[in-house]
């Protein structure tokens, strides 16, 4: 219910530009106290701006696009992607999310010893990276409705696609935030729902994130850190070393 409220509040604020606390409360049939609490949370995530009596939209610019993020921490992401492939052997079936670190992981397949893996994805950019490899791998795309800027496909068709998959050995995913309290989080509710479905089918969960994603949280939880089998990154925050068996979980 909380995730639904967050998504609905973001949707109507972005559509109208500005809403008062009272208008949001009436629109969602919730108390003004709940609205204020939700707005405070969304502002901390940088998704809205609180103003007297209500909230305004934060401009969604090209800074949030996949193609600009592709250049952020580029060399670090390439190294993370290469390290993630060390978990794989030929004959495995993997699923992947979208995101720039996953994109670089796929590009590294050309330089890896791997020659026979099946790749399932709901991401257009991930699929494009596979198609442009010199090597040939079996690629199966879920189809669905593409999200602007992230180019991940969402919707009931995608959920059903992954529900009907018999076996997924590894799920490689990125994240918008990773913290001890909320675990792995996404900015988008529908992308989070797809990720949850894939997690329910996967034997191993592999999170690929550079260290800038740690100690931050996006609105929609995908899974806890306990559910993640491996976290491939460039640096481990000290407090994350309190996770049970952290030294077996992190690949740096």
b/e code 121-160 from CB counts within 10 Å (16+ = b): bbbbbbbebbeeeeeebebebbebebbebbbbbbbeebbe
- Backbone φ/ψ region at 214: left (φ over 0), alpha (ψ -120 to 50), beta: beta
Distance CA 74, CA 54 (A): 38
Burial of residue 172 (number of CB atoms within 10 Å: 0-12, 13-18, 19+): buried
Mark whether 73 and 51 lie in a shared domain: no
Mark whether 91 and 176 lie in a shared domain: yes
**Host domain of residue 211:** 66-251
Mark whether 34 and 104 lie in a shared domain: no
The domain boundary residue, chosen from 38, 59, 80: 59
Mark whether 127 and 246 lie in a shared domain: yes
Mark whether 54 and 90 lie in a shared domain: no
Q: What is the phi/psi pair of residue 215, to 5°?
A: 65, 30
Span between the terminal Cα atoms of the chain, in Å? 36
Q: DSSP of 34-94, one letter per residue?
A: HHHHHHHHHHHTTSEEEETTEEEEPP--GGGSHHHHTTTTHHHHHHHHHHHHTT--TT-EE
Mark whether 11 and 92 lie in a shared domain: no
Kindly report the pTM of this predicted structure.
Answer: 0.77
Mark whether 111 and 159 lie in a shared domain: yes
The domain boundary residue, chosen from 59, 78, 94: 59
Distance CA 174, CA 79 (A): 14
Mark whether 145 and 82 lie in a shared domain: yes
Question: Would you write out the chain's pLDDT as a tens digit for each of its 252 residues?
Answer: 677 788 888 888 877 778 899 999 999 999 999 999 999 888 877 778 888 888 887 654 433 577 767 878 899 999 999 999 999 999 999 999 999 999 999 999 999 999 999 999 999 999 999 999 999 999 999 999 998 778 999 999 999 999 999 999 999 999 999 999 899 999 888 999 999 999 999 999 999 999 989 988 888 899 999 999 999 999 999 999 988 889 999 999
Distance CA 40, CA 44 (A): 6
Report the domain count for the chain: 2
Tell me the two tokens of residue 181: 């309290």
Burial of residue 103 (number of CB atoms within 10 Å: 0-12, 13-18, 19+): buried
Name the DSSP class of 147: P
Beta bridge partners of 102: none
Mark whether 15 and 75 lie in a shared domain: no
């Amino acid at each position: 219910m909380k995730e639904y409220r967050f998504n609905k509040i973001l949707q109507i604020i972005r559509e109208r530009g500005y809403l008062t606390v009272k208008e949001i409360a009436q629109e969602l049939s919730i108390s003004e106290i709940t609205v204020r609490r939700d707005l405070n949370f969304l502002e901390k995530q940088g998704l809205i701006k609180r103003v007297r009596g209500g909230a305004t939209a934060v401009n969604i610019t090209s800074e949030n696009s996949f193609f600009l993020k592709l250049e952020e921490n580029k060399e670090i992401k390439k190294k993370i992607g290469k390290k993630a492939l060390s978990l794989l052997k030929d004959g495995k079936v993997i699923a992947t999310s979208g995101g720039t670190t996953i994109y670089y992981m796929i590009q590294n397949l050309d330089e890896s010893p791997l020659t026979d893996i099946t790749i399932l994805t709901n991401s257009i950019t991930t699929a494009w990276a596979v198609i442009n490899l010199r090597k040939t791998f079996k690629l199966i795309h879920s189809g669905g409705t593409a999200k602007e800027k992230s180019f991940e496909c969402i919707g009931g068709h995608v959920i059903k696609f992954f529900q009907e998959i018999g076996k997924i050995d590894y799920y490689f995913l990125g994240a918008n935030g990773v913290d001890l309290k909320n675990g792995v989080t996404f900015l988008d509710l529908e992308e989070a729902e797809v990720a949850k479905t894939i997690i329910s089918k996967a034997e191993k969960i592999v999170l690929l994130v550079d260290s800038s994603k740690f100690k931050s949280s996006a609105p929609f939880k995908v899974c806890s850190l306990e559910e993640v089998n491996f976290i491939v990154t460039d640096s481990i925050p000290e407090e994350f070393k309190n996770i049970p068996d952290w030294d077996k979980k992190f690949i740096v």
